[in-house]
């Protein structure tokens, strides 16, 4: 019951934040194009609400999680309107991006400063799962192997890859490489934060050796991804 309730509440708040961003960025009250979002939100919120009510009645030891799940629909029903009122109208793309960045920075700071509390919102079985943690590590390694494979293929091609190309082809290749490295950097950042949570989660049987390997494998991605992001920003893309 504890795992199911945690998953349901996390989905409620995760999808609720997505709902808030979309609705707060929509002028007026939206139109019929918002109907799929409303239905999807209901599909997530209603079962979480009912499960939380049941837990509140039958499982007092899960009271905090249950209360969070019960109030979630009410919170996210009014939150978009509150955000619009504070912003003086619907959010622009820049305002939505800025708000999202602030929330991500707050979440990142919480993961680093109070990892055990944040880990409490994650099912313990994910920290114990060798398959899940192994997939995170394999994803990082696979990303680098793919990049190396592309370079080897281009170097061995009859045309010599982009050798001697000073035109648009080389420019596009540099941009694509930068975007790819930024993606690897984002994956490395996720891996690092996840590994940090696993190391400090306090969960018995957590895959701490895999967590250490995840951090080590993330270092190149963090460095090169950061450099690629700085390059893209400097170029004004």
CA distance between the termini of the chain: 48
Residues 175 and 135 in one domain: yes
Same domain as 140, residue 66: no
Dist. CA 90–CA 79, nearest whole Å: 13
More confident residue, 166 or 6: 6
Q: Is position 118 within any domain?
A: no
CA 124 to chain CA centroid, Å, is 19
What is the model's pLDDT at position 111?
Answer: 92
Confidence at 32, pLDDT banded by 50, 70, 90: low
Q: Of 113, 135, 154, which marks where a domain is finished? A: 113
* DSSP characters over 146-164: HHHHHHHHHHHSTT-TTTT
Q: Are residues 87 and 9 in the same domain?
A: yes
Q: What is the pLDDT of residues 195-221, one digit of tens each?
A: 999 999 989 999 999 999 999 999 999
pLDDT value at residue 153: 84
The Cα 124–Cα 141 span in angstroms is 25
Categorize the per-residue pLDDT at 99 as very low, low, confident or very high, splitting at 50, 70 and 90.
Answer: confident
Per-chain mean pLDDT for the chain? 86
Task: Looking at the structure, tell me whether residues 163 and 201 fall in a common domain.
Answer: yes
If asked whether residues 108 and 136 sit together in one domain, one would say: no
Which is more confidently placed, 82 or 95?
82
Residues 170 and 159: their CA atoms lie apart, in Å, by: 13
Domain-ending residue, one of 85, 113, 141 = 113
Task: Tell me, yes or no, whether 104 and 141 share the same domain.
Answer: no
Closest C-alpha among 154, 141, 134, 156 to residue 211: 134
In this structure, the answer to whether residues 128 and 96 fall within a common structural domain is no
Q: Report residue 212: phi and psi, to 5°.
A: -65, -40
82 pLDDT band, cuts 50/70/90, is confident
Of 102, 235, 129, 134, give the one whose Cα is nearest residue 178.
235
Quick one: how far is CA 101 from the chain centroid? 12
Same domain as 98, residue 172: no
Using the Cα atoms of residue 139, residue 150, residue 171 and residue 223 in order, give the sign of their dihedral.
positive
Least Cα distance to 202 among 116, 121, 108 occurs for 116
* Residue 132 in this model has a pLDDT that exceeds 80: yes
Structural domain boundaries, residue 39: 2-113
Which pLDDT score is estimated for 236? Answer: 67
- Asked whether residue 25 falls in the same domain as residue 108, the answer is yes
Task: Quote the pLDDT of residue 197.
Answer: 95
Domain count, the chain: 2
**Does any domain span residue 22?**
yes
Task: Give per-residue pLDDT as tens, 163-187.
Answer: 555 556 777 888 889 999 999 999 9
**pLDDT value for 89:** 78
Predicted confidence (pLDDT) at residue 93 exceeds the cutoff of 80 = no
Boundary residue ending a domain (92, 113, 134):
113
76 and 65 in contact (C-beta within 8 Å)? no
């Amino acid at each position: 019951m504890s795992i199911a309730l945690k998953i349901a509440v996390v989905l409620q708040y995760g999808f609720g934040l997505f709902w808030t961003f979309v609705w707060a960025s929509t002028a007026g009250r939206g139109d019929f194009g918002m109907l799929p979002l409303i239905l999807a939100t209901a599909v997530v919120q209603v079962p979480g609400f009912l499960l939380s009510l049941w837990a509140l009645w039958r499982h007092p030891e899960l009271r905090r999680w249950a209360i969070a799940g019960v109030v979630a629909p009410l919170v996210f029903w009014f939150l978009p309107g509150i955000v619009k009122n504070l912003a003086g109208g619907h959010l622009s793309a820049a305002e939505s991006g800025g708000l999202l960045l602030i929330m991500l920075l707050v979440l990142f700071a919480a993961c680093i400063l109070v990892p055990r509390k944040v880990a409490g919102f994650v099912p313990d079985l994910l920290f114990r799962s060798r398959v899940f943690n192994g997939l995170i590590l394999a994803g990082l390694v696979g990303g680098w192997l793919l990049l190396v494979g592309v370079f080897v293929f281009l170097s061995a091609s009859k045309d010599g890859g982009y050798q001697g190309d000073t035109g648009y082809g080389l420019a596009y290749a540099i941009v694509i490489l930068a975007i790819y490295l930024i993606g690897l950097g984002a994956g490395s950042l996720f891996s690092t934060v996840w590994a940090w949570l696993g190391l400090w989660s306090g969960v018995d049987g957590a895959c701490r050796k895999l967590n250490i390997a995840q951090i080590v494998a993330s270092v190149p991605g963090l460095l090169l991804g950061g450099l690629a992001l700085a390059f893209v920003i400097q170029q004004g893309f």
